[in-house]
Structure formats: C-alpha cells, structure tokens
C-alpha cells in the first residue's frame, strides 16, 4: 500500500511526477508522457500556470470557442465560451442567429449589491448588544478606511453594516450583515478584508464596552466571510417577438410552438426534477462564459442555484409568456462577477476573451452572461419541444464517438457526410463505422 508523503509541495515538478506515477498509475512512463504532453513549450506561460495553484503537474485543457451574432441592446457581440460539451457553442450560435433576426436580446442590471457577514456568538442581553452596535458602528467604518479608501474613491465601498439577531435559529447567534459595492471587481478579497477588520473591531470594542459585564465582553467571532448568495446583484435578459414570427423552420405552427415553450417553462417551475435539468442547460451557457472570462464558476453556480430555490422550492430560472400575440422569454440571475483583478489580468486567454467582448465593465459582463444562459435555455427547449434533443446533440457528439473508435480523417469525412442524412445514435455510428472499415 502507498504510504502518506511528507513535504510533497516542496518536491520539484519532476519529483512530483515520479512519485504520483510510481505510486498511483499502472504504467508510470506512459502516465508521465500523458502529463508532459500538456506542458506548454512557452516557459513563461507554463510558469504562470504552475503558480496559479499548489502542486501543478500539468495543464488541463478545455476547448475555447466563440458563439457569434449575439445582438444585445443593439450591439453585436461574439461570445467566448470555454466548455467541453459538444453541442453548447453550436446551440448558443443557433439561438443568437434566431434572435438576431427578431430584435436581439434586451438586458437590464437590476442591482449590484454584494454581501458579507461576520458570524458571532454573544451570550448576553440583546438590548445591550443593540446599544453597543450603535456605538461601535462608526468605528467599524473608520477602522476599515485603509482597506476601503481606493474603492471609495472609485465610487464603491461599504454600503451598510447591520446587526442581525439570529437567536431564533441558533442559540446566541448574531451577525453583522454587511453590503458592498465593488464596481468592476468581483470583490471577494476586498469584502473579506473588510469583514476581518469588522470582526477585530467588534471583538475589541466589546471588551471595553462599559455596559457589558462578564461573558458579555467576550464576543466569540466564529467567522468573517463573504456570501455567494447575492439576490440583489441581479441581471435580467429577455427576448420577445410577435408569435407569428417565432417559428421559422416549418415544424408546426408558431402558435403551437409558443404554447409548447411556455408549457416547458411552466413544468420547470413546478417540478424540481425538471427544474434542475432545465437550469443545468442554462448553466451550460453561463459557466462557459464565466470560465472563458476567468470568473469563479463555483461562486456563480452556488449563488444561482440558491436563487432558484429562493421561494422555498427549486424552480426555473427562466420565464415565458404569450400575451397580446407576443412571445416573451426572460431570465433573472444573480451574478457577482468581475472584469478586473483575479485571473482577468493574469491569464492571457481570459484577457483575450475580455478584449473580444470589448473590455466590458462588470455590469456589461453580467448582461452578456445572462444572455448566454437565456440563449442556451431557448435552444434546449426549442429542440426538446420539437425534434427532441438527441438529433442535434448526436450530430455534435459524432466526432467524439468517431475519435473513440479510432476513425481516420478519411473515415471521419465519409461518416460525417453519411450522418448529415441519417440519425446519429451511438449504435448507428458504431455500425456505420464497422461497415465502412469492412468495405
């Protein structure tokens, strides 16, 4: 059995490769070759990636693609997407083209408020804590001035610090619930630095507060951390068109199609099993842009799914209606993202993605990301309520299956041609491949 290792992070990269492949792979030389194939020959670029995290062995690639023709508030965008799922960029491009002819996407930022909390335990009289909080509040702001100065100069900073009594949920549990504006930065470091300063000021202030006695002086700060649940950092994206302009590809009437789209959204609103898959499709678009632009997809995912459950049941993030002969389809999602700081200035591809998007502000990027989510959902529902998802999906997946089968370039060309006219299920691809090989 492999023994635990001390000081792994201190080993050189070559030593790490030796150790991991010798202890955890069947063929160490073959495994080392796989890892090394992904090393970048540009040493500066490789060093940059090595230093992003601890114990880097190699790089992990995802395709970086572009979905063009997105008309958003009358401006045309080509949206960069980083994703491995074969049909996502194609679906986004198709939805973009569809809405390009119907007025494009309209978006609005509904709020940009970020949240952070200092969670603490106070076992004493609540009235006294309220008095203490009123007294200490100006010092909470003033002690954080060295952290907030630059952000404030640019128009952001702390917007509110409130005391919340949470003792109904947990004995002696209170919070400082704090809100922030962080402009073009996602703001995690700024918020967490402010919160840690608030925690220190709070603790220290309580020790010297004359009205407190005994245990009351001893506020126990459990943790100080931003919240990834940001329901007031919200963006809306929508599309609409007269129903008779909706369809356009000859499969059924526009009226019928509009009703089916509305039904599909209604189902996702009331049925959590469907809502999760419905929203997963939305996240196909959102995550791909979030990744391409160097934002934190875990934060975005956590916040969006919490928002989808805000009314007590997990539900659809998109909405649809048919009213006055118009089809309307829209999304509202919380997005705490940035276009400065973090990876945005460090990662060359992220920088390029932002350049392609016209160096957007954080608010603009929120709108672009929401559009990518809405477009993806539109494309998925459109397939689901008409042809079914597999037709388009398997077309895009065909190349993956052919690569798995070890098809040559000539075989790929022939089979791609064949499946333009035939339905590409997995077994149909295998059968056609085997037939071609035999011939």
Contact status, residue 17 vs residue 38, Cβ threshold 8 Å: no
Q: Is 393 a catalytic residue?
A: yes
Q: Which residues contact 302 (CB under 8 A, 6 or more apart)?
A: 228, 229
Residues making contact with ligand MEV (CB under 6 A): 85, 277-278, 280-281, 284, 380, 384, 389
* Between 107 and 318, CB nearer to ligand MEV: 318
Smallest distance, Å, CB 264 to ligand MEV?
8
* Between 85 and 271, CB nearer to ligand MEV: 85
Active-site residue identified among 18, 49, 85, 321: 85
Smallest distance, Å, CB 285 to ligand MEV?
10
Q: Is 54 a catalytic residue?
A: no
* Between 102 and 274, CB nearer to ligand MEV: 274
Smallest distance, Å, CB 304 to ligand MEV?
15
Q: Is 269 a catalytic residue?
A: no
Smallest distance, Å, CB 51 to ligand MEV?
33
Smallest distance, Å, CB 316 to ligand MEV?
10
Smallest distance, Å, CB 392 to ligand MEV?
9
Contact status, residue 374 vs residue 283, Cβ threshold 8 Å: no
Active-site residue identified among 143, 296, 332, 364: 296
* Between 121 and 389, CB nearer to ligand MEV: 389
Tell me the residue number closest to ligand MEV, measured at CB: 281
* Between 151 and 258, CB nearer to ligand MEV: 258
Buried b (16+ CB within 10 A) or exposed e, 333-359: bbbbbbbebbbbeebeebbebbeebee
Burial class (CB in 10 A: 0-12, 13-18, 19+), 71: buried
Active-site residue identified among 128, 280, 305, 395: 280
* Between 106 and 280, CB nearer to ligand MEV: 280
Cα-based angle 79, 85, 91 (whole degrees, multiple of 5): 50
Q: Is 280 a catalytic residue?
A: yes
Q: Which residues are catalytic?
A: 85, 280, 296, 393
């Amino acid at each position: 059995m492999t023994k635990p290792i001390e000081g792994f992070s201190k080993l050189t990269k070559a030593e790490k490769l030796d150790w991991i492949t010798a202890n955890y792979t069947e063929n160490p030389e073959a495994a080392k070759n796989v890892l090394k194939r992904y090393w970048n020959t540009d040493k500066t670029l490789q060093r940059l990636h090595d230093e992003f995290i601890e114990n880097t062995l190699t790089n992990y690639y995802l395709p970086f693609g572009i979905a063009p023709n997105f008309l958003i508030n009358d401006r045309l965008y080509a949206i960069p997407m980083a994703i491995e799922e074969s049909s996502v960029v194609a679906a986004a491009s198709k939805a973009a083209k569809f809405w390009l002819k119907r007025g494009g996407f309209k978006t609005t930022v509904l709020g940009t408020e970020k949240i952070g909390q200092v969670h603490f335990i106070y076992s004493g009289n609540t009235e006294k804590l309220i008095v203490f909080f009123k007294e200490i509040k100006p010092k909470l702001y003033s002690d954080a001035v060295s952290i907030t100065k630059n952000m404030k100069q640019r128009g952001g900073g702390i917007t509110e610090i409130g005391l919340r009594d949470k003792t109904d949920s947990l004995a002696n549990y209170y919070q400082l619930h704090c809100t922030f504006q962080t402009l073009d930065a996602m703001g995690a470091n700024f918020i967490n630095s402010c919160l840690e300063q608030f925690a220190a000021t709070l603790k220290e202030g309580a020790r010297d507060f004359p009205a407190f006695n005994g245990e009351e002086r001893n506020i126990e700060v459990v943790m100080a951390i931003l919240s990834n649940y940001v329901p007031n950092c919200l963006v809306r994206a929508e599309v609409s068109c007269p129903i008779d302009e909706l369809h356009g590809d000859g499969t059924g009437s526009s009226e019928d199609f509009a009703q089916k789209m509305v039904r599909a959204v209604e189902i996702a609103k009331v049925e959590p099993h469907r809502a999760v898959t419905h929203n997963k499709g939305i996240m196909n678009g959102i995550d791909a842009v979030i990744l391409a632009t160097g934002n934190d997809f875990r934060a975005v995912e956590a916040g969006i799914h919490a928002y989808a459950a805000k009314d007590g049941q997990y539900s659809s993030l998109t909405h649809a209606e048919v009213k006055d002969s118009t089809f309307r389809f829209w999304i509202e999602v919380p997005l705490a993202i940035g276009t400065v700081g973090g990876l945005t200035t460090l990662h060359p591809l992220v920088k390029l993605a932002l350049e392609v998007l016209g160096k957007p502000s954080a608010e603009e990027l929120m709108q672009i990301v929401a559009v990518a989510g809405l477009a993806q959902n539109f494309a998925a529902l459109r397939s689901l309520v008409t042809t079914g998802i597999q037709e388009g999906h398997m077309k895009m997946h065909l190349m993956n299956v052919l690569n798995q089968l070890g098809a040559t370039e000539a075989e790929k060309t022939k089979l791609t041609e064949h499946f333009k006219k035939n339905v590409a299920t997995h077994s149909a691809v295998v059968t056609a491949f085997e037939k071609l090989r035999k011939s």
